[in-house]
Amino acid sequence: MWRPIGRRRPFCEASTLPLVSADVLEWGRRNLRPLPWRAVRDPWAILVSEVMAQQTGVDRVVPKWHELLDRWPDAAALAGADLGDILAVWTGLGYPRRARDLQATARQVVERHGGVVPDVLSDLLALSGVGPYTARAVLAFAFEQPVGVVDTNVARVLARSQGRRLASREAQATADALVPAGDGWLWNQTLMEVGAVFCRPTPRCDGCPVRGRCRWADDGWPEPDPAPGSAGVSRRQARFAGSDREARGRLMRALLAAPQSRRDALAATGVVGDEERAGRIVDGLIADRLVLADSDGAVRLP
């Protein structure tokens, strides 16, 4: 059983960890989706998958992951690519800043680590665009180190199983304590899968392998749900339709075909009747270094 967290007390009884994890691991062995990055241990390929999957569904990520790695199979190859070409492959994933940051990461891996993704947490955290989750995901899934991985799916499982919101350090310490010796890769993948399949924002508890050890469910799912506001749990995104994100995407797609004059770029955003807003969108992409402005005002991909 889970133990309440108190000051200077362990997050769970160490002696119960094999009992807590055995049936969950067995569920994972039988039910993990065959995602392609789960079949490899190449640190670069795994880092790319983690960056691509941030706020993007895996169904959209899979073909793009293959395409990017087929074209640039390692950090050195991506480091030397044109950002415009990378952005073209990235089209459809959203949040193109991630593509820019991934190339910056590749260049740092080449410059600081001889093109080899490091296996030390502090070195990973020093890379552009690599935060605590991505760094630990690389350690757990590429190097099979015994660290807990807390993405938004795992964070919901942890908070609900504890029956309360968890602060960042609590969530990470709990995740680390639960990793069973020798099975860290499978354990982390399984908790992520449980969060993605069962412990969703609107939970589906029937068949969940963690159901018998979930305090929130045992208590009858009282309000408030402990997951929202807990460390690592993403908040509902603003509506995409009509947003600046949608307008930025329209312009990026137009630039894939050809550079645009300033006037055409404003029109390509799809913002009608608000030239000031359209201008902010164009200028924002320039400021983010995702679009370049020529001396005559025309804009193009890098």
Residue keyed to tokens 């929130």: 216
Residue 7, pLDDT score: 33
Domain that holds residue 67: 42-141
Q: Are residues 52 and 137 in the same domain?
A: yes
End of a domain among 79, 110, 141? 141
- The pLDDT tens digits for 79-109 are 999 999 999 999 989 889 999 999 999 999 9
Tokens describing residue 80: 């030397």
End of a domain among 218, 235, 264? 218
Residue 292 β-bridge partners: 300
Nearest to 172 by CA among 234, 235, 232: 232
CA distance 123 to 53: 22
CATH of residue 174: 1.10.1670.10
Asked if pLDDT for residue 202 goes beyond 60, the answer is yes
Q: Are residues 73 and 113 in the same domain?
A: yes
Mean pLDDT of the region 231-246: 70
Residue 103 domain-assigned (yes or no): yes
50 belongs to the catalytic site: yes
Per-residue confidence band for 258, with pLDDT thresholds at 50, 70 and 90:
confident
Nearest to 2 by CA among 148, 188, 157: 157
Asked if pLDDT for residue 5 goes beyond 80, the answer is no
Residue 25 domain-assigned (yes or no): no
Residue 128, pLDDT score: 86
Residue 34 domain-assigned (yes or no): no
Sequence-distant (≥ 6) Cβ neighbours of residue 39 within 8 angstroms: none
Exposure of 301 in the CB half-sphere (CA atoms within 13 A): 23
Ranking 139-148, 169-178, 230-239, 257-266 by mean pLDDT, the lowest is 230-239
Per-residue confidence band for 236, with pLDDT thresholds at 50, 70 and 90:
low
Q: Are residues 202 and 167 in the same domain?
A: yes
The count of structural domains within the chain is: 3
Instruction: Output the average pLDDT for the chain.
Output: 87
Residue 153, pLDDT score: 92
Q: Are residues 153 and 128 in the same domain?
A: no
Residue keyed to tokens 């807003």: 277
- The pLDDT tens digits for 147-193 are 999 999 999 999 999 999 999 899 999 999 999 989 999 999 999 99
Return the higher-pLDDT residue of 276 and 48: 48
CATH of residue 56: 1.10.340.30
Residue 20, pLDDT score: 59
Residue 235, pLDDT score: 61
How distant is the alpha carbon of residue 161 from its chain centre? 22
3-state secondary structure of 260: strand
Nearest to 248 by CA among 266, 230, 232: 266
Residue 8, pLDDT score: 33
pLDDT over 70, % of the chain: 91
Residue keyed to tokens 């029937």: 206
Q: Are residues 47 and 137 in the same domain?
A: yes
Residue 87 domain-assigned (yes or no): yes
Residue 104 domain-assigned (yes or no): yes
Residue 23 domain-assigned (yes or no): no
Mean pLDDT of the region 271-292: 86
DSSP 145-192: -S-----HHHHHHHHHHHTS---HHHHHHHHHHHPPTT-HHHHHHHHH
Angle between helices 17-31 and 168-178 (to 10 degrees): 80
Residue 57 domain-assigned (yes or no): yes
Q: Which of 13, 50, 246, 275 is catalytic?
A: 50
Measured between alpha carbons, how far is residue 185 from residues 79, 142, 251, 295 in Å?
28, 9, 40, 51
Residue 261 domain-assigned (yes or no): yes
Amino acid at 79: A
Measured between alpha carbons, how far is residue 150 from residues 59, 133, 175, 204 in Å?
21, 6, 7, 20
Q: DSSP class of residue 299?
A: E
